[in-house]
Amino acid sequence: MNKSIHNSLRQWFAKHGRDDLPWRNTDDVYHVYLSEVMLQQTQVKRVCTEYYPKFLSHFPTLRDLAKSDLETIYSLWSGLGYYSRAANLHQTALITNGVLPRQEKELQKLPGIGRYTASAICCFGYNQAVPVVDTNIKRVIRRLYALNDPKEKEIWEYAKRLLDIQQPKQHNLALMDIGATLCLPKETKCEICPLQKWCKGRHDPFSFTTVKKQNSVFMELFYGIYEENGKIAFLKSEGPMYKGLLVLPTCDPIEEDLLGSFKHAYTKYRLKVNIYSLEELPKEQCIFLPYNEALHANISSLTKKALILWTKQHQAMQ
């Protein structure tokens, strides 16, 4: 049966695979590694068109990344969120001296690299015959074999048995693309799926997948903007949300100083962000930057939104 499945997957992938993604058209292991880290919690389109090419233009090799400082890395990562990913990239570059190990177990010893990322590096970067199980492939495997609430280890075992050892990279990418385009969490396109003939869960696919509902947490935040001599005051964050980044100082909500508000989402948090104009501020720990320079500094997308709101209000009052 596996041989027939492999042939079907190969034919489907040749016609419908997402071969326009740049990290799929390279044998540079660092490029593969970078893409896998960026794609965690980030949409493919944003990574592909903006962050991935910009990052590689500054750091074309892992050794180049090792020579940089975290502030520069954070500035290029600004807007991607989950800044610990950027810190782990830098730490890995330093530990490995720019050369990633070829063994899954050795890769998993590095900061931020779990089983999935390690297997992806080995398969997509080193072309090793190993299974790769991301969220999309996990869903395909569960439906294909009609697995009801399986353990993680069991899914990996099924993926290993199914693996096409002749073309492991194309095999894993095909399963990934089927999960991303046909075998969706809330919709299935079984009639055009290359696995339909062998899929045990095709008659009731939603019985073999569960969509975890994450409870949102609402928070209201209050930030102030203090300007002096054409420069804006920032603090270096020590908090868990934006640790190591430049942030605006928090302030008391004084209604007459309100510049405006906006909504922002961060992981499970749904935020209402209020921005105020500050007349005074303790300056000892502040870092002052001109507006245009601040937009390209190591700030979060939340802070960038606040600066854009401030400048629009500032211009409207002139």
User: In degrees rounded to 5, what are phi and psi of residue 80?
Assistant: -80, -25
187 is catalytic: no
Is residue 262 a contact partner of residue 293, using CB atoms and an 8 Å limit? no
Q: How far apart are CA 142 and CA 207, in angstroms?
A: 10
Q: Which tokens go with 279?
A: 């007349």
Bridging pattern class, strands 217-225 and 227-228: unpaired
CA atoms within 13 A on the CB side of 316: 8
φ, ψ of residue 18 to 5 degrees: the values are -80, 75
The DSSP call for residue 299 is B
Report the Cα 94 to chain-centroid distance in Å: 21
Cα dist from 97 to 61, 62, 66, 92, 164, whole Å:
11, 8, 7, 8, 33
Contact 266, 302 (CB under 8 A): yes
* β-sheet bridge partners, residue 232: 227, 289
Question: SS3 of 101, please?
Answer: coil
- Paired with 289 in beta bridges are 232
CA-closest candidate to residue 290, choices 311, 262, 316, 318: 311
List the structure tokens of 89. Answer: 């990239």
Per-residue CA distances from 21 to 16, 55, 90, 120, 166 (Å): 13, 16, 24, 15, 22
Catalogue the active-site residues.
Answer: 36
